[in-house]
Structure 1
Amino acid sequence: MTEAIRKLAQRIGAENSDVKETVLFGSLAQRRGVPGSDADLLIVLWKDGRPFPDRIGPWLAKVNLDFPVVRPNSDTLRRAAPSTRVPQLS
């Protein structure tokens, strides 16, 4: 499952120029996932002056997944394991 999510993260970056990087974190990134585990995927966008709700709207229209949307704080970003970062081509 982790490889499928990695490919999804790469595709998200390739199809969207506003993506700076994607980060898989949580139990799957730490290889503690079990059947039924959710995938925690952080999508980092380049700086944008628009408010968060205005920026997330187009993303929600593109994806067909049942997931909560949260705006992470700096602690969440620091806890994300560096080895799970999927760099995007600029």
Structure 2
Amino acid sequence: MPLVRSYVRSDGTRVRAHARWAPGAKRETMIFGAVALAVVGLGNSNVSAGEDGTPQPKSTVQYPIRFDHAPAARAPQPRPTVSYPIRWQR
């Protein structure tokens, strides 16, 4: 949306700063709104999986996840990736 700064017309009329729609923007916004409304309307339908009596999978995950049988390992220590010393400028 372009912003029009304040200016003075050739007949001396002062025009305040205002914003206006770009040409064709209202039509494009209306089309976008209609499509968005259709998507929301179709997305909120009452159809859901499993209404025909088929069993639905149940979650077997228990949170928080703990590794009870894993050995207590220390965090890996960082290793240098080069075998030569890096000299920094002082």
- TM-score normalized by structure 1? 0.16
- TM-score normalized by structure 2? 0.16
Higher strand share: 1
Higher helix share: 1
Bigger Rg, structure 1 or 2: 2
